[in-house]
Amino acid sequence: MKDRVGIITGATSGMGKAIALTFAAEGAKLVLSGRSESKSQDLLEELKPHHDRIAFFPGDVSLFETNEAL
């Protein structure tokens, strides 16, 4: 996964979070999205060692604005 780019929605919990943590540990560059502001802060804290390879866009992917940002 090193230097591959992944876009993960629902990254603040469940399978999305597990995938984000795994991909980050394997060296992937990530674009993440999630609806929960508080959970996003927790996730970003967990991913802190990989912060230079991660972008996070809060929001709901059912909304146009979130998809436009992604």
pLDDT digits 0-9 by tens, 21-49: 999 999 999 999 999 888 989 999 999 99
pLDDT classification of 1: cutoffs 50, 70, 90 = confident
HEC letters along the chain: CCCCEEEECCCCCHHHHHHHHHHHHCCCEEEEEECCHHHHHHHHHHCHHHHHHEEEEECCCCCHHHHHHC
Quote the CA–CA distance of 47 and 26 in Å, as a whole number. 12
pLDDT digits 0-9 by tens, 17-28: 999 999 999 999
Range of weakest confidence among 9-13, 57-61, 65-69? 65-69
C-alpha torsion sign, points 33, 37, 39, 43: positive
